[in-house]
Amino acid sequence: MRIPVSLGLLAVAGLATAAPYTPTEDSLVLERVAKPATPAGDAVRLKQLRAALADSPEDVSLAVELASHYVDIARSHSDPRLYGYAEAALAPWWSASRPPIDVLYLRAIIRQNRHDFDAALGDLDQLLSRQPRDAKAWFARAVIQLARGEPEAALQSCAPLRRLADNLSATACASSAGSLLGHADASYRALESALARSNPSDAEHRVWALTTLAEIAVRLGRNGDAESHFREAMQAGDRSVYLISAYADFLLDQERPQEVLDLLESQDAVDPVLLRLALAEKALAKETGSRNRRRLAERFRASRARSDETHLAEEARFELHLRRRPERALDLARTNWNTQREPRDARILLEAALAAGKPEAAQAVLDWMQRTRIEDVQLSGLAQRLRVAGP
């Protein structure tokens, strides 16, 4: 539930220690960086809004509309540049202590994307103190709390949606949280029932609900149900990067790497997708894998240079499963866990602790699992292996 309404590989000898490559000719192309993906209809409207805002830079309604368009596209394509464009549109009000409500909401969403969760929650708390019946603010609050590994708090944030939002949205929110609190089967059945009663034309909410059902089914070990939900979500509406990545992870766990390549063909622009592509290439011993591993290494290096820690979990998987450097993977996974505590974040930390031979390094995850009573067959299996390996 990272962006709803939305949502490890072959070691390369010398990759970790080789000096950065410096081109000898200015004309040499290292990599072609695509412009942010923007649907044709949106591109026209964005151009119109940019021109209008340039003429009236203090018009908050124009700025909000432009920023909202950027955020909507960014959510679908997982392109951080678009969040930057959204912030630029809101520049005159960005640092205000009490900005307009719509600016406050968008600032929270942009800060959430950057994992500045404390600041994002502060914005949402201020918004809700001024406008307590704002359903999208309650929902955004729940999303952040789930990302922080706080399903109890998220469940409380979902509660107002029962009277402020449609039944499917409210149930999906509560089921996402409840499924992490020892009520996975009940949450699954409640969401499945709400989906059956929902409007078939409501593609956006149906995709979110189906993705949530698929993820709960995966955690319960119901792989057949999970695949059915993933496939239906892929056909129900726009395929967000979150959905594609989650389905790719499922296929990788099922040892079906060729289907991952087919799924991700021509969609390697963002780091999470490129990682899954490289994992599949490694499993199939594809020669293109080494090139994509180099691309990932450069992207993670660039992220560190700009102090961007939004993809630490992906980098930890890269170090563990591609470079086979469990100590480095463990450091990254532990740093990531300080901020981001979803099941996938727990998994990479458990895996890295096992590979590094340091079961005690995963104690924070084991404590979290015990406190939340999460039901997850993969996490439970890893936790058991850690207990056996422990002192």
Per-residue pLDDT 10s for the chain (391 aa) are 333 444 322 222 222 333 344 454 554 444 444 455 555 567 888 999 999 999 999 999 999 999 999 998 888 777 778 999 999 999 999 999 999 999 999 999 999 999 999 999 999 999 999 999 999 999 999 999 999 999 999 999 999 999 999 999 999 999 999 999 999 999 999 999 999 999 888 888 999 999 999 999 999 999 999 999 999 999 987 788 899 999 999 999 999 999 999 999 877 678 889 999 999 999 999 876 688 899 999 999 988 888 878 889 999 999 999 999 999 999 999 999 999 999 999 999 999 999 999 999 999 999 999 999 999 999 999 999 999 987 6
Residue 73 to residue 64: CA distance in whole angstroms = 14
Q: Which residue type is seen at 377?
A: V
- At residue 25, the pLDDT reads 52
From the CB of residue 345, how many other CB atoms can be counted at a distance below 10 Å?
Answer: 21
The runs of H, that is alpha helices, within 4-134 are 40-55, 60-77, 80-89, 91-94, 101-113, 117-130
pTM here? 0.87
Most distant CA atoms of the chain, gap in Å:
67
Please name each of the domains of the chain with its CATH number.
166-254 (1.25.40), 315-391 (1.25.40)
The first and second tokens of residue 8, run together, are 């490890």
pLDDT of residue 41: 62
pLDDT score for 178? 98
SS3 content of the chain, % helix, strand, coil (to 5): 70, 0, 30
Looking at residue 5, its pLDDT comes to: 42
Closest CA to 382 of 146, 322, 365, 149: 365
User: Side-chain half-sphere of 345: how many Cα atoms within 13 Å?
Assistant: 24
Alpha helices, DSSP H only, in 221-270?
223-236, 241-253, 257-264
- Give the residue carrying structure tokens 């979902």: 158
DSSP 321-380: IIS--HHHHHHHHHHHHTT--SHHHHHHHHHHHHHHT-GGGGHHHHHHHHHHT---HHHH
Give the DSSP H/E element, type plus range, for residue 32. none
Rounded Cα gap, residues 11 and 320, in angstroms: 9
